[in-house]
Amino acid sequence: MPTSRCPNPQTSVSLPSWGRGGDWRFVALAQTIRRIGGLRLTFLQAVLSCWEEQPQRRFLQFWLAAGVIPAAKQLYFSAKQRIFGVLIKMHGKLHGLPKKVLYFSVIIAFCQNPAAGYRPVKFYCQGSIIRQNSLRGKKRMAKKEQTGTGVVLEASRREKLRKIEELGFDPWGQRFADHIAIRKIREMEDRIAVDEAAQQQSGPKVRAAGRIILQRKKGKLIFIDLWDWSGRIQILIGNNQVGEQNWELAGCFDLGDIIGVDGELMRTRTGELSIAATQLTFLTKSIETPPDKFHGLNDPDLRSRMRYVDLIHTDGVLDRMLKRSNIVQSVRNTLACEGFIEVEGPTLHTIAGGAAAKPFETHHNALDIPLVLRIALELHLKRLLVGGMERVYELGRVYRNEGIDQRHNPEFTMLEVYQAYGDYLSMMDLTEKIVVNALDVHRARGVSQGTLTYVTGSVNVTGSVNEQNYVIPWNGNEIDFTPPFARRTYDSLIQEYTGIDPSDLAAVVEYAKTLGLDVTGKHPDVVKNDLFEEKVEKNLLNPTFVMDYPASICPLTKRKQSDPNIAERFELFVQGMELANAYTELNDPDLQERLFSQQLEGQKEEESMARMDKDFVRALRHGMPPAGGLGIGIDRLCMLLTDAASIREVILFPLLRPEQ
């Protein structure tokens, strides 16, 4: 077997005899990071041996060098030499290069055949070294710009951008009015008339706009898959049909470019619904290369960080986010039909109240006062009840400086609803309406001409239940949302899943100790709640209203007349997650003040409400009507209805560490 010599990594490399000469013109460039001191002979020999094992590829001629070759750069930018693509990309730790990464790229230019003209040459190396290393690295999109591959591909796209300008087109586009959503275009399929005798067809004239997600060339035809937020459709571009200038423009298209198309709807010989283009409009050039077609954007952190790419190239992401918008709109529609009005409360508070959570702290320079971001919406909405607004709600962001996991994000969307002259039972009925209506609307989602269409279908927004299947998949399981939801008392569930008498507080504390729960300095009812979270919540899979909590852990809740130790409160649990929380609101200002203090007992200040909100107590002294109050986590509702395992999957831009 011919051997390869590499006496100096900065000099040219001797190649096997089969790699020299021939009638074909090939150019290949291998780039390595300048910081690496040299290229080991063993590695280069292994790579060349891989190529040597492929006798049918021996016509290839490779010019290899360490670093960037100025001559190759000049060749790349010279006329009529267009880069075809990247055929081999590998990175990883190699033999003799500890703690360093070698980036190796082989780029093959178009070759000239006197008989066939320019055509691409594809080369796939089956060598074990390249095969094992070519797919490593989840963050190839983020690191691509650091490699020679990213630089070359971007340069190719910028060269096409320059050519688009030379053709007289604006590469960043202008207004493109009167285009039709692709879903609507596909619905026009039945308007295609076919003359079988003449073997001709005529379809409606359509105008579409979208992003190129697939393209392939076949002689004088270019096939493009165009995508917008309602769907995708094939575009047929023929040299004779679009004219010479449009044909040259089509030659500058890259994956990710945004274009407009005017043409006629038709079917191909294979029955594929397509638009036969008659006019092309360039709208936006994509400088960045999209993710790999087969591997896509797989890293969860990178997907959240580059959500704009994730929406385009990851199946189901855009659809889930559109469903979220429909769900939120459904919630608003249901509440509007029930006579509630939406209000906006302050985001900056002087006191973190309304929940037991640690706030984010900030400072107002002009007033020279410390402030916190709100951790709940509750207390200001109740002030509005005092002021005479009988049915109010707010749907907005709240912020809690706490942990991050699959079910928690520091900023999240909360719905809080308050109804004068109601109680927690009326809130229970309202919760069922909100959830069931949201499920119906999300299933009937539609998109029309680039604008979201909120489809209610057979939903009765006044709350009556339609006869249909409410069993939906979630995370490999099934959830049965068929109303009415189960209703269980807090103590009965503790007894069922622990076997102890929940009224025996001493037994509750001892049982908690056997589970390793911290009971030091805690009120027995707080210990009981820890026990509930540990033993009961994970078993509540289908929607279950858990009712009648201990009064001492519910300082904002009215007591049952029959038992003052029980608070009129419920939580809705689904798949072990708390989805909703509701009270019969406490409106006794003196009792409210005492219970505030009791709730703070035994808890660290930074883990609870920072201080008592005395202004809220003062508002209660002016008289708040009896009321029911409800809180629903919108992000969790969207998780459950759209089969998302993590809260990050339903938040467009979740909080992440700064990019390194």
Q: Quote the pLDDT of residue 292.
A: 75
List the one residue out of 196, 607, 238, 572 whose CA is nearest residue 401: 607
Q: How far apart are CA 417 and CA 582, in angstroms?
A: 9
Q: What is the pLDDT of residue 330?
A: 96
User: H/E element holding 205?
Assistant: strand 205-218
pLDDT of residue 127: 31
In 3D, which of 50, 64, 197, 202 has the Cα closest to residue 129? 50
Joined tokens for residue 186: 């596909």
Alpha-carbon span 634 to 483, nearest angstrom: 19
Q: For residue 202, how far is the Cα from the chain centroid?
A: 40
What distance lies between CA 497 and its chain's CA centroid? 37
pLDDT at 553: 84
89 vs 122: CA distance, rounded Å? 14
pLDDT tens for each residue of 502-532:
999 999 999 999 999 999 889 899 999 999 9
End-to-end Cα distance, the chain? 46
Phi, psi dihedral angles at 33 (to 5 degrees): -65, 130
Quick one: which of 257, 260, 309, 299 has its CA closest to 281?
A: 260
Which CATH number does the domain 182-284 belong to among 3.40.50.510, 1.20.1270.360, 2.40.50.140, 3.20.20.80?
2.40.50.140
Percent of the chain predicted with pLDDT > 70: 71
What are the C-alpha distances in Å from 352 to residues 373, 377, 418?
A: 8, 10, 20
DSSP-derived secondary structure letter, 560? P
CATH 2.40.50.140 residue spans of the chain: 182-284
- The DSSP secondary-structure symbol of 181 reads -
Q: 3-state DSSP call for residue 598?
A: helix
CATH 3.30.930.10 residue spans of the chain: 317-485+542-650
Residues written for the chain? 660
Angle between helices 524-535 and 490-498 (to 10 degrees): 60
Contact predicate 244/264, CB 8 Å: no
* Cβ-count burial 173-199 (b if 16+ within 10 Å, e if not): beebeebbbbbbbeeeeeeeeeeeeee
What fold does the segment set 317-485+542-650 form as a domain? BirA Bifunctional Protein; domain 2 (3.30.930)
User: Residue 644's pLDDT is what?
Assistant: 94
Residue ranges in the chain modelled with pLDDT below 70: 1-150, 293-296, 444-468, 595, 598-611
DSSP 608: S
pLDDT at 598: 63
- Cβ atoms of residues 266 and 302 within 8 Å: no
What is the maximum span of the chain, computed from C-alpha positions, in angstroms? 99
CA distance 268 to 274: 7
pLDDT of residue 62: 38
| Residue 165: per-residue pLDDT | 95
pLDDT tens per residue across span 242-293:
999 999 999 999 999 999 999 999 999 889 999 999 999 999 999 998 887 6
CB atoms < 10 A from the CB of 615, how many? 12
